[in-house]
Amino acid sequence: MRAKHIGILVLLLVVTGIAALFWLAGHVHRPLELGEQERLIVIERGTSLHGLLRQLDREGVLGDAQESRRRRLGARLYDLATDVSRRIRVGEYVLRPGDTLVDVLVIADPALKCGTSHGSINPSLLRPSMTVVDVSNPPLVHPLLEEAIERGCRTVAPRAIYEHQVAAQYKVITGKELPGEALASVLAE
């Protein structure tokens, strides 16, 4: 009889824990508090997930104090499942109205795999509301970006990033603008 009560208690705790995880996940997937304007977020070198969440909280995009706590906790739990904190990259990111904490994906590692194993990105996480940027090996296209295009995500083409990067480097070295046709002819080969 006692074993039966312990079993029911354990089952109740497991069900409650799973329900709490789904409840917190809902806060991660809610739109950020941006109003009707886009917001530029700059991620500096060495920024941790905790630091990024604090920065977003200071910017006021996580909501009131209670909502912010729930989103930060939900993001940490999301990190436990996806290991996203290891993939935070330096750069400038534009947050648009309707974006959530999980709506921007930057592919920066050419060795990153699509799949369900640890350290991989499961393509089923890609949703049309997401923006996916591929800087892993421009101008080549990563398979995850191809998957994002197929799933209707907003994407930034690696070729466009590559062209911008080459033109900027050319200007720094020569002091002149790179002729557009010169780069286009090289990339066509």
pLDDT in tens, 86-140: 777 777 777 778 787 777 676 777 787 888 877 777 888 788 878 888 877 777 8
pLDDT at 40: 77
pLDDT at 150: 92
E strand residue ranges, the chain: 39-43, 91-95, 104-107, 131-134, 154-156
pLDDT in tens, 159-178: 777 887 788 888 888 888 88
Label residue 15 by pLDDT band (50, 70, 90): low
Nearest-angstrom CA–CA distance, 96 and 129: 10
Which CATH code of 3.30.420.40, 3.40.50.720, 3.30.1280.10, 3.30.460.10 fits the domain covering 103-189? 3.40.50.720
pLDDT at 67: 84
End-to-end, the C-alpha distance of the chain in Å comes to 77
Residue 96: both structure tokens together: 């648009």
Beta carbons of 77 and 18 less than 8 angstroms apart: no
The single-letter code of the amino acid at 56 is: L
Q: What angle is formed at CA 132 by the lines to CA 76 and CA 83, rounded to 5 degrees?
A: 25
pLDDT at 32: 81
pLDDT higher than threshold 70 for residue 5:
no
Q: Residue ranges of the domains in the chain? A: 1-96, 103-189
Label residue 31 by pLDDT band (50, 70, 90): confident
User: HSE of 187 in the Cβ direction (CA atoms, 13 Å)?
Assistant: 17
pLDDT higher than threshold 80 for residue 151:
yes
pLDDT in tens, 50-97: 888 888 888 888 888 888 888 888 888 777 767 777 777 777 777 778
Query: pTM of the entire structure?
Result: 0.52
How would you classify the pairing of strands 104-107 and 131-134?
A: parallel
How would you classify the pairing of strands 91-95 and 104-107?
A: unpaired
User: HSE of 72 in the Cβ direction (CA atoms, 13 Å)?
Assistant: 21
